[in-house]
Amino acid sequence: MARLNPWRWVVLSLAALYFLVPLAASVIFTVDVPGQGVTFDAYTQIVSTEGFVSSLLLSLGLAGATIAVVLLLMVPAMVALRLGAPRLRPVVEVVCALPLVVPPIAFVAGISTVLKWGPEHLSRTPLFQTFVALQNPDFPFVLVLAYVVMALPFVHRALDTGLRAIDVPTLVEAARSCGASWPQALVRAVLPNLRGALLNSAFLTLALVLGEFTVAQLLGFRPFAVWIYSVAGSQAQLSVAVSVLSLFVTWALLLALAGVGGRNRTAASRG
């Protein structure tokens, strides 16, 4: 293994070149505007641009709701599966892998069909109000439903890895023997041991929701990613500047995650 490998450095430098050049060029693109020289206008204008704050807040709100729902659904289920109900384990595994088989664009095609039932068939039933509420443009809860489904595979994997590392039955029995109730045992004994996995799930879900474009755009809502896309036509520099910033923020988040919860190597992308 002590051989000096020139090809290794060729491979690594080529890779570095390919992965760093677009980032560097994007920064140059936003700063060096033809005909104006070097200017930082693209960055200073961001906050004041119409729609930036509202779309970012919408995305953050959606992310918060998605994280809350997905963890509330998944954590009790996964912990319970560790404690018993072995026959349900493969069922949950398959259910959580199903979203990988249905690409987001196919999923949103199904959702938009369902949403059309509202005006077409259900306009005289109480369900109609539910459909309207789901699509409230201020906070489209239908997106939360979709994002929770899309986050299931990642959250399942993260929680599964976390739970594998601890002995849940022993922890729960110890807590119960000391007189803790079920919720107490879960919140005070199991969850603190799962902090890494929970953070991992939360970060991955946050990254997924902040970058999500397909479902939101096709259902006609305007969270962050759709907003970037919509300003690109009129303000190219600005859209690239926001892209670069959002990249660096996402990376900082994911790198922090890599530091906190160990590398998450297999989170597959569904660009």
Partner 1 sequence: MTTTLTGVDVVTAASPKRRRRAPGWLAVVPLLAFTAIAFGIPALAMLDGAFTVKDPATGATSYTAENLTTSLQGAYLTALLGSVKLSAVSAVIAAALGLPLAQAVVTSRSRALREAVLTASGVLANFGGVPLAFAFVATLGNAGVLTRHLGLTDKGWDLYSFWGLVLVYLYFLIPLMVLTITPALEGLRSQWREAAQNNGATAVQYWRHIALPVLLPSLLGGLVLLFGSAFAAYATAAAMVGSSVPLVTLQIADAISGNVLVGQENVALALSLDMVLVAGLVMAVYLPLQRRSARWLA
Q: Is 61 in the site for partner 1 (CB under 8 A)?
A: no
| 7: phi then psi, degrees, rounded to nearest 5 | -65, -30
Among 7, 36, 126, 137, contact with partner 1 (rule: CB under 8 A): 7
**3-state DSSP helix/strand/coil % of the chain, to nearest 5:** 75, 0, 25
Report the distance separating Cα 256 and Cα 27, nearest Å.
Answer: 23
Which is nearer to partner 1, 18 or 47 (by Cβ)?
A: 18
Cβ neighbors of 220 (< 8 A, separation 6 or more) are: none
For the bound state, the minimum distance from the C-beta of residue 62 to partner 1, rounded and expressed in Å, comes to: 14
Count CB neighbours of 14 within 10 A: 10
Which is nearer to partner 1, 4 or 47 (by Cβ)?
A: 4
* 231 touches 55 (CB < 8 A): no
Among 53, 57, 83, 187, contact with partner 1 (rule: CB under 8 A): 83
Q: Is 240 in the site for partner 1 (CB under 8 A)?
A: yes
Q: Is 143 in the site for partner 1 (CB under 8 A)?
A: no
Q: Is 4 in the site for partner 1 (CB under 8 A)?
A: no
Q: Which stretch binds partner 1 (CB under 8 A): 46-54, 55-63, 123-131, 241-249?
A: 241-249
Cβ neighbors of 104 (< 8 A, separation 6 or more) are: 150, 212, 214, 215, 270
For the bound state, the minimum distance from the C-beta of residue 189 to partner 1, rounded and expressed in Å, comes to: 14
Hey, which residues does 32 pair with through a beta bridge?
Answer: 38
DSSP E strands, the chain: 32-33, 37-38
Query: Which 179-198 residues touch partner 1, going by CB under 8 A?
Result: 179, 182
For the bound state, the minimum distance from the C-beta of residue 50 to partner 1, rounded and expressed in Å, comes to: 18
Query: Which 146-165 residues touch partner 1, going by CB under 8 A?
Result: 146, 148-149, 152
Among 46, 60, 80, 166, contact with partner 1 (rule: CB under 8 A): 80
For the bound state, the minimum distance from the C-beta of residue 96 to partner 1, rounded and expressed in Å, comes to: 8
Q: Is 263 in the site for partner 1 (CB under 8 A)?
A: yes
- Tokens 């987001």, residue? 104
Q: Is 73 in the site for partner 1 (CB under 8 A)?
A: yes
Q: Is 119 in the site for partner 1 (CB under 8 A)?
A: no
Hey, which residues does 33 pair with through a beta bridge?
Answer: 37
Query: Which 87-106 residues touch partner 1, going by CB under 8 A?
Result: 88, 91-92, 95, 97-106
Rg (CA), the chain: 23
- Tokens 């799930």, residue? 201
Q: Is 35 in the site for partner 1 (CB under 8 A)?
A: no
* 146 touches 108 (CB < 8 A): yes
Q: Is 85 in the site for partner 1 (CB under 8 A)?
A: yes
Q: Is 234 in the site for partner 1 (CB under 8 A)?
A: no
Please name the amino acid found at residue 258: A
